[in-house]
Structure 1
């Protein structure tokens, strides 16, 4: 099966799974807020972040593992695949042990991290935390096997398993929320279902790849281990940067403001994550294909497709950013009420980082597929320091916006530095064209955003479902019309248009 067919299949199943997931998550979140309350929602979001921070113990092994499997999978070298998977199995068992020990050591500090927990007692907070910790550590005994599925460009298998698990879990949790209104049972039900899923996945992948159960007849040589170890060392620093930026915001909000605000922000995060999940299906489905592309095609072909990939990234994330800025607060107000809104300044900061992140995803995915980890290893550390220092200083002075100012500033560091490395290392180019395009894309984005921001207070003066639906229509129409007008002459646009024409003709 070709790269395009694998990507198409991954995207198709990814979208089906996300549509179902999105619908159930909104139903579940609505019921959660009205039955248990926003404080418990804040605890839920905070613990997800804490355990994500603990995943630092993973040290980027997963990313290095996926990259090292591309070649042996392409060559069907089962002996090397077995040797690699054997190595990763024991590495992940050590990770599970480290996460468990560090996670337990954090229990005495929960009262310090969680500010204004209200009716939730310290003992309850510990029990909830232990359930989250169990879910995280048990994952490491199975998750490494998914790397082989990813290397084969069959991400849809993982997507389908996760979708089925999510549907069952959410339905059971909704029943518990409505009938019992009990947060503990809400968490336990998910933990049990996910445990059953992990047992099933382990057996399913053993059956799919029976050679993994055979004795390992060869060990990795020193030369084979060296690039893996080098990449892991570099990815440690990348991991620090990622965690300090995207997994500490809720911890800072809980520690310096209160746990209820974590719950309010999590509603916005849910919406943004739902939109992102749809976009990431496209981008993440192509990573494995890029790994194969880089291994088999020349630099000019790689650069041509990178430009197309980035063009798609701008269009998707640019449009999504405009839609979120324009619609997210009216949607929240219609959905769960005006008391759940956060300030416009915070929204602009969150969406600004979202837009910049869209550009970073394109560059990072291509970088990961090419196995570039060492050259930019210190950027993540710099981002970590900048984010935490600025966020902590500003949250004390201006509150919630200060945390997200730190997030935006650290993101700019990556947006400015990593494209230069990718262009020089992969394409043998200076990277100036990337920054020129970035400025041009930003100008294209601002014009329709200003038009919609001018129209928004007029159309939504008396917010209701009818004028909100009309605003959705305008948001769908205006940015895309402007994008076509400004971008129709670019080579990337013509390439995609030709590709669409070929696919349409092929179906006739």
Structure 2
């Protein structure tokens, strides 16, 4: 049951991410053509400002999901019904608070010293509209939390996919016809409402017992607030690093540079989301495993998932490194490309982000957040100080270097925390292995880079697509033969995948 649910969640997650990526690229192409790169930078700034404001949510989504695993496993329907009501009221209050804070933020926008030619009053009013599209979702967040905890996230993803396609298709049409950013944001609000309304109807049909009268269960009794204290700090740091990068770029450089940067950030975000989709698909089942408290099984599961993280990190990082500038130039134009050093830094940050996510998954499903707090606060401080100091001298790369060192420290500290509190073993062997894997991957990338450079000199009238294809083919062959062919974790994962496929075929 655990494997079947995970398989379904992962499958729908991949499909959702693919559909979302295609539609987002199409929409962004039209957006840049009709609204311009500067307004795209403003929209990215909105996204990051709302990320900071959503800290008001205090990490409740993660903390509340953890508290549901046990009552679901024990079929405590009355308790679940009571928690559903409590969570729904709580998120309604949070939604109102976030909207109120966003109104205040709109009044403070003139004081952020944003480097743009767009009228500040226009930015303020459109920010309020943008915030409404985000706030609407909070009134229905409880449904997503429960579907996730029940390992039925595939239902949410299917619903989201349908409405994303309809929303973005409609936005493209209205951009062509009316060329209005305000209408673009109004459509965001409308489809967010429609999406969540349908999901709310569906959960009433799927889990009708959640709407039965039941005795009250206090959040204090579920030990939620102890988890929230730690998760809220972690959420603040996670959002803070991304949001402050955007604010620093907009203030010290320009909104246009932020817009160009956001195109690269979009690609890396979707690459990371694809990887996260797999882990999100098994997150609830991981919660079941950790609740069994079998340390040897937990360690074994960690090693296998950690190796899978590494495979995903090297394939995604290598692919993006050799192809992203060509993709950007063919997609929206050479003028929107970043320099090679920026691409290298972004790829390195992506690699670290993928590798450290395994620590978060084990921490969030175990509910042991305390060890992450101090590390995360220091991460934010390192990122802010280095980014502000270096951007004055080396521009955008200064912000990326700050983010790199902050991420590197966070990976180090979080790994120690997970090994101490959850795996209950020394972390030295883990670090040695990770350094060895990273060094080997760096050498592989450098060797393929030399092959690529040689072929560029050999063929003066080069076909860029052929060069990229050969580079990626060399990369994948080297990774396979030098890294994974005889690895015991890879053999296990391959056998597991084959058994899942055979099981699905037998069912069909």
* TM-score bucket of the superposed structures, by smaller chain: over 0.9
- Choose which of 232, 237, 246 in structure 2 pairs with 1:241: 237
Identify the residue that residue 478 of structure 1 maps to in structure 2. 475
Identify the residue that residue 121 of structure 2 maps to in structure 1. 123
More divergent stretch after superposition (176-185 vs 43-52): 176-185
More divergent stretch after superposition (69-78 vs 22-31): 22-31
The runs of 5 or more residues in structure 2 that have no matched partner are none
| SS of structure 2 residue aligned to 1:342 | coil
Whether 1:109 and 2:108 are equivalent positions in the alignment is yes
- Choose which of 387, 401, 408 in structure 2 pairs with 1:412: 408
Identify the residue that residue 185 of structure 2 maps to in structure 1. 187
C-alpha distance in 1, partners of 2:479/2:217? 57
The answer on whether the counterparts of 1:460 and 1:468 sit within 8 Å (CA) in structure 2 is: no
Equivalent positions of 1:124-273 (< 5 A) are: 124-220=122-218, 224-225=221-222, 227-273=223-269
Identify the residue that residue 28 of structure 1 maps to in structure 2. 27
Per-residue deviation at 1:490?
2.9
Summarize deviations over 1:229-262 as a string: whole Å, max 9, x none.
1111111211221122122211111111111111
Per-residue deviation at 1:463?
10
Identify the residue that residue 438 of structure 1 maps to in structure 2. 434
The answer on whether the counterparts of 1:114 and 1:258 sit within 8 Å (CA) in structure 2 is: no
Aligned pairs, how many?
A: 504
Identify the residue that residue 494 of structure 2 maps to in structure 1. 497
| SS of structure 2 residue aligned to 1:220 | coil
The answer on whether the counterparts of 1:460 and 1:467 sit within 8 Å (CA) in structure 2 is: no
| SS of structure 1 residue aligned to 2:376 | helix
| SS of structure 2 residue aligned to 1:495 | helix
More divergent stretch after superposition (211-220 vs 234-243): 211-220
The answer on whether the counterparts of 1:231 and 1:373 sit within 8 Å (CA) in structure 2 is: yes
- Choose which of 388, 391, 410 in structure 1 pairs with 2:387: 391
Equivalent positions of 1:76-87 (< 5 A) are: 76-87=75-86
Per-residue deviation at 1:472?
3.1
The answer on whether the counterparts of 1:70 and 1:291 sit within 8 Å (CA) in structure 2 is: yes
- Choose which of 372, 385, 388 in structure 1 pairs with 2:368: 372
C-alpha distance in 1, partners of 2:498/2:427? 31
Identify the residue that residue 345 of structure 1 maps to in structure 2. 341
Identify the residue that residue 336 of structure 1 maps to in structure 2. 332
Distance 1:364 1:31, change over 3 A: same
Distance 1:199 1:47, change over 3 A: same
Per-residue deviation at 1:29?
1.3
Per-residue deviation at 1:159?
0.7
C-alpha distance in 2, partners of 1:146/1:214? 19
Per-residue deviation at 1:499?
2.2
C-alpha distance in 2, partners of 1:168/1:270? 20
The answer on whether the counterparts of 1:264 and 1:340 sit within 8 Å (CA) in structure 2 is: yes
C-alpha distance in 1, partners of 2:302/2:181? 46
The answer on whether the counterparts of 1:66 and 1:151 sit within 8 Å (CA) in structure 2 is: yes
| SS of structure 2 residue aligned to 1:376 | helix
Identify the residue that residue 290 of structure 1 maps to in structure 2. 286
Distance 1:19 1:463, change over 3 A: farther
Summarize deviations over 1:76-103 as a string: whole Å, max 9, x none.
1012212322332222122122212221
Per-residue deviation at 1:38?
0.5
**TM-score normalised by length of structure 1:** 0.94
Per-residue deviation at 1:21?
1.6
Identify the residue that residue 43 of structure 1 maps to in structure 2. 42
C-alpha distance in 1, partners of 2:242/2:256? 19
The answer on whether the counterparts of 1:115 and 1:257 sit within 8 Å (CA) in structure 2 is: no
Per-residue deviation at 1:114?
5.8
Equivalent positions of 1:47-58 (< 5 A) are: 47-58=46-57
Distance 1:478 1:345, change over 3 A: closer
Q: CA RMSD in A?
A: 2.1
Summarize deviations over 1:255-276 as a string: whole Å, max 9, x none.
1111111110111112112222
| SS of structure 1 residue aligned to 2:371 | coil
The runs of 5 or more residues in structure 1 that have no matched partner are none
Distance 1:129 1:473, change over 3 A: same
